[in-house]
Structure 1
Amino acid sequence: MSESVKERKSDYPLQVHKVSCLGVIHSVSTWFRYFFIAFFLTLPFLLQNCAQVAQPPGGKKDTLAPKLVSSMPAARQLNYKGKTVELEFDEYVNSENLQQKITITPQDSNTFVVKSLPFGIRLNFNKQFLPNTTYTIDFADGIKDVTERNIAKNTKVVFSTGPTIDSLFLTGNVVDDESRTPLLGFVVGLFASTDTLPINRKRPQYFARTDSSGNFRIENVKAGLYKVYGFDDKDLNLVNNTPGERVAFRDSVLNLNRNYTDINMVAFRGYGKPRISRRERTDETLGLELSSGIASYKLRYGRPVSTSAASSTATSTTSVSTSAVSISATSPTITEASYTGDTLVSFLENPKMIRLFRPANRAADDTLHLTIVAEDSVGNVTEMRERIYFSPLKTKAKNRSPLTVQINPPSGEPIDKNLEFTLVFNKPVFRFDTKLIIIGPDSTKPLPLTPANLTWSNNNSRLVIKQATNLKDTLLFRLQKGSFVSVQGDTLAKYSARYRIAEEDSYGLIAGRVSPATIGSAGKNFIVELLDDKYKVIRAAYGTAAYSFGRLKPGLYRVRLIIDANGNRKRDIGNVQKGIQPERIIYAPGTEENGSIRVKQNFELTDTDF
């Protein structure tokens, strides 16, 4: 018994040891299981972090741009037959919007796919390149390093699929026609002389964009005959298909058998044929928004109806549809427009919006068929047919815009004693009362206003008041409530302002002479224009060799000479379809680009010559 007990006692430590070993093994096995689970769960994050390249902490900021180490094809390589273009740099790089930023000349229909590489990029083209052609692929600012996004500069690959590299180039400059300021990002392109498609339907074979100084350079061009055109290209599709974009062109076909360095052009606004792009309907008004601005318009319904937005003196030839306005006096001071219950009143709310008002005797859903004859500032005429009706479901009579007015000059500004006020209303005026328009030293001594002092335009929505006076010191300008009533029956709120009459020695003068040598064969067909610092024409003199602009308020001005080649007493812009260049503009020395003449009080500049 004792032996057996001893045997069992002696075995006990061994059993305990075995159990302990099994527990340790189980614990280790569990630990490894959790370790591997955690490892595999965190593996994607570890791999992602390993793939990210970042600037090491500390040290100087990386300011160096990536350098091109090699390319395929090599620079200026001949007889290249591949379909791949690859660039390698000296550091990690990435690309941004390369499909939009890469420019390839000459242009063809060969598309490509961009593949990013750690140290570069690869372009895989879908087709073989054209035979015996020199290609230039420019990457612009589309490649940057990954640390500080420094742009790889002058990244360009030039190669040939034939035995030679085309090396001809042309350079030049492009400025805006009106301001003579250089244009940035303006596309200058070369088109084959045999092209019959207009530039608004075709991309150029070779092209370049102007820099901030308006300069361009087109390189590696094959010898040949080319038409030279330029355009804004706001949508970056290398096609001049946006109405109203600026365009430029060279008069004659360019025989590119040598390098040219003087292809200079002026860019003018192309003709954008207006169309009705949006309609705003309520039960009382209809707004027709146009795709491009116009200067005036006419409505034609049945028989022709004159409704020029530039003048209110036209008369209607039909009582059904017209926005022409004639005015008649109903008392010595009260004047009403000759609107009837069937009159369709309209006006040019802004250059891109014609606003029509429903006739009082017509239901909102009645339909009128009209033709809108629109004319832009240079005389281009476009006809647009429109079905006119109003929306009875969109009633805005309760919250319609009240009659308001903008008055120029603004209150507080010194004015000339020869008064000129411009009033622009937000809707046509139906009736006005000159007795309630007070202009004078005070309210008890108003100056008399006659029809000769008042000039209405834009269908009774714009009024110019002119009155010569001998006033000194100050002037009161007051519009009493009810002085103006709109076509919708609402009245203008009361307005009152006081102005200071400028003293005689507070003005300046700009004068000069125009040399016959400058005018040339145009003779006396020229215009001298005085502009403010925003290029708005302030005054003009036609055919006056010794011109003078006096009584100028202190400020910044420009003076320019226009050669009126066709003698129509206005400046005509060009027409790229007809091959007509804009009439020539010459700015007085010092006032071209951003230069100007500063006029001070009692200041005379008499040598601004041309």
Structure 2
Amino acid sequence: MKQNHFLYIILLLLLHGCAQIVTPTGGPRDVTPPAVVKEQPPQSTTNYSGKSIRLTFDEFITLNNPLENIIFSPPLTTAPNYKIKGKSLVIEWKDTLLPNKTYNVILSNAIKDYTEGNELPIYQYAFSTGDEIDTATIRGTIFDAETREPQKDIFIFLYDQFEDSLPILIQPQYLTKSKADGSFRFKNISDGEYKIFALKDINSNLRFDLPGEGIAFLDEPVRTEQEDTIELSFFTEDHQRFQITPLSVNRNGEYRFKLNKPSVFPEKNSLRLLISNDLEFYSEWGTVGDTLTLFTTPLSEDTASIEITIPEYQFIDTLILTPYKPISTGLWGRTATPPPAQVSALHAGSLYQPLTLLFDPPITPTPNLPFTLISKDKESEDTTFHTLTTEEPLMRLLPVEYPFEPGKEYTLLFRDSLFQGYHGRMNDSIQIRFKMKTERDYGSLSILYRFENQDCSYIVELLDSKGKVVNRQILTVSQRLNYEHLTPGNYKVRIIFDRNHNGKWDTGNYLEKIQPERILLHDSQFTVRGFWELEEEIEVR
């Protein structure tokens, strides 16, 4: 008996040693959105007079913002009621439906599965209160008028009348929403012509009644099944008065201002000191013209006044500068110590742009600024001593005038305490190293622009791979432009059709029937290679 008991224990130990506990993997993640498996009444039902529909899915679901993402077309007067019952969505309404009318119910990202949140991108259900289901369609795309980016979740309206006041006064006869790629489609609508209008409906009333609502429209009616592509240019009307407002900056002698509209021609703007005549200042406009920064020497009076003039907006105002009040930090209320004056180099190594020192903050320089220059190539290394001269009382940028040789390596050395920022802090020692480029590091692009309409001005912009404008010119006739000394890479061309010849892009106005100025982003991408010339031709129609 004892022997049998001992064998039983051994067997249990062996079984325990062989057993492994493995966590179930659960399989791959579910990425399939819910699918409709039953419709009540069935899809394309005619002569329907009920007050609800039920859509049953193949799994449990949740609703995603149904008031925004479920569309009735034609729209209902009062919002329907949405209920989840098991795996079904029940939609109920109190409105009396129009007679002999096809209704479309569009679910646009309105349904998610309960477990993983997978969205059903689009689903459309149709029924008719008459004997037939309408079958006509209209489709198109909507893009931002200025950036040419596709616009998603924009309402597209159709009206069977053509008065200009319709989008302002009444709800549309049909509506749908644009997808992520900017495309839209009306299905199951009555055959005929329609006024088309697009709206970013901020207040959810299906009317264009707020000045900040983005819109798009066409000058002519659209027709069902038309072959021409419908393209809408989305824009926001400009009803704002030009304003410039101060921004908070916690740095002595620095004042920043925000423009509610960008200044396209900052070189034409002017600043004039009105009070505090001993004040020196340096102005700097942001890269897109929507900010202005002023650097000043310390104020000797309570305030300073600077008159600013911006001709493109017929704007004249006075900027008031008040003395800097440092913000205390730490337990004992000490003020933060400003950092040393910083110096960096712009265009280092460029053959065609001068090496320029950028000071942060601006400095109050002495007339002579000595530096050491070390030049190096494969055969030798030379050290020479030079001096930069300036008479400016306050300086942000300082070009280094020197005949740097292609292909050579250089090091610039500036001793410490040479540059004094306007806040009184000096610089640490500075070392700037770079290697000069050669002609083989640059390419050129030549483009012949042929304009079909010679009565328009064209703002022609060459963009680099990041969309930055590297060249901007205004043309009125067909001609060739030569882009020299380009960094190798990919470039594109953007052309603004400047109807009013003011040198900048202008938005539209609906009631004045003004479309936003057309922008053509050319399809071709031009690849510039080093030490290579590329010739192209663009026809603009």
Which runs of structure 2 are paired with 1:519-598 in the superposition (5 Å)?
519-522=452-455, 525-543=457-475, 545-568=479-502, 570-577=503-510, 578-587=512-521, 590-591=524-525, 597-598=526-527
Aligned partner of 1:435 in structure 2 is 368
Aligned equivalents of 2:497, 2:427: Cα separation in 1: 45
CA RMSD of aligned residues (A): 5.0
* Cα distance change on mapping 1:220 and 1:500 into 2, 3 Å: same
* Cα distance change on mapping 1:467 and 1:282 into 2, 3 Å: closer
Q: 1:525-584: per-residue Cα shift (whole Å, max 9, x none)? A: 44543221012111245447122112222222223444444444x342332355444444
Aligned equivalents of 1:440, 1:239: Cα separation in 2: 68
Aligned equivalents of 1:170, 1:374: Cα separation in 2: 46
Work out whether residues 372 and 386 of structure 2, in 8 Å CA contact, stay in contact via their aligned partners in 1.
yes
Shift of 1:474: 3.0
Aligned equivalents of 2:36, 2:430: Cα separation in 1: 69
Aligned partner of 2:44 in structure 1 is 76
SS in 2 for 1:415: coil
Deviation larger for 540-549 or 270-279: 270-279
Aligned equivalents of 2:342, 2:261: Cα separation in 1: 23
Aligned partner of 1:171 in structure 2 is 139
**AA in 2 matched with 1:214:** G
SS in 1 for 2:364: strand
* Cα distance change on mapping 1:582 and 1:60 into 2, 3 Å: closer
Matched, 1:604 2:533: yes
Shift of 1:415: 1.8
Aligned equivalents of 1:278, 1:85: Cα separation in 2: 56
SS in 2 for 1:514: strand
Which runs of structure 2 are paired with 1:139-538 in the superposition (5 Å)?
139-146=107-114, 151-152=119-120, 154-161=122-129, 165-177=133-145, 180=148, 182-190=150-158, 193-194=162-163, 196=165, 206-221=174-189, 223=192, 225-229=194-198, 249-254=216-221, 256=223, 259=226, 261-267=228-234, 271=238, 273=240, 280=248, 290=258, 292=260, 294-295=262-263, 310=267, 314=270, 316=272, 318-319=274-275, 340=278, 360-363=299-302, 379=312, 394-395=327-328, 398-400=336-338, 403-404=341-342, 407-409=345-347, 414-416=349-351, 418-421=352-355, 429=362, 431-433=364-366, 435-436=368-369, 444-446=384-386, 463=397, 465=399, 469=403, 471-472=405-406, 473-477=408-412, 481=416, 485-491=420-426, 493-515=428-450, 518-522=451-455, 525-538=457-470
Deviation larger for 379-388 or 462-471: 379-388
**AA in 2 matched with 1:319:** I
* Cα distance change on mapping 1:369 and 1:609 into 2, 3 Å: closer
Aligned equivalents of 1:436, 1:88: Cα separation in 2: 80
**AA in 2 matched with 1:536:** K
* Cα distance change on mapping 1:476 and 1:566 into 2, 3 Å: farther
Provide the aligned length of Structure 1 versus Structure 2: 495
**Larger Cα Rg: Structure 1 or Structure 2?**
1
Aligned equivalents of 1:86, 1:474: Cα separation in 2: 76
Shift of 1:111: 1.6
Work out whether residues 248 and 576 of structure 1, in 8 Å CA contact, stay in contact via their aligned partners in 2.
no
Aligned equivalents of 1:164, 1:382: Cα separation in 2: 61
Scaled by the length of structure 2, the TM-score of the pair is 0.70
Shift of 1:79: 4.6
Shift of 1:159: 2.7
Work out whether residues 285 and 291 of structure 2, in 8 Å CA contact, stay in contact via their aligned partners in 1.
yes
Aligned equivalents of 1:60, 1:392: Cα separation in 2: 60
Shift of 1:165: 4.4
**AA in 2 matched with 1:537:** V
**AA in 2 matched with 1:605:** L
Aligned equivalents of 2:97, 2:340: Cα separation in 1: 65
Q: 1:43-98: per-residue Cα shift (whole Å, max 9, x none)? A: xxxxxxxxxxxxx9989987765443443454333454443332223554443333
Q: 1:316-343: per-residue Cα shift (whole Å, max 9, x none)? A: 26216xxxxxxxxxxxxxxxxxx636x8
SS in 1 for 2:454: helix
List alignment gaps of at least 5 residues for structure 2: 1-23, 330-334, 376-382
Shift of 1:601: 2.0
SS in 2 for 1:606: strand
List alignment gaps of at least 5 residues for structure 1: 1-55, 297-307, 321-338, 592-596
Shift of 1:136: 1.9
* Cα distance change on mapping 1:212 and 1:65 into 2, 3 Å: closer
Shift of 1:511: 1.1
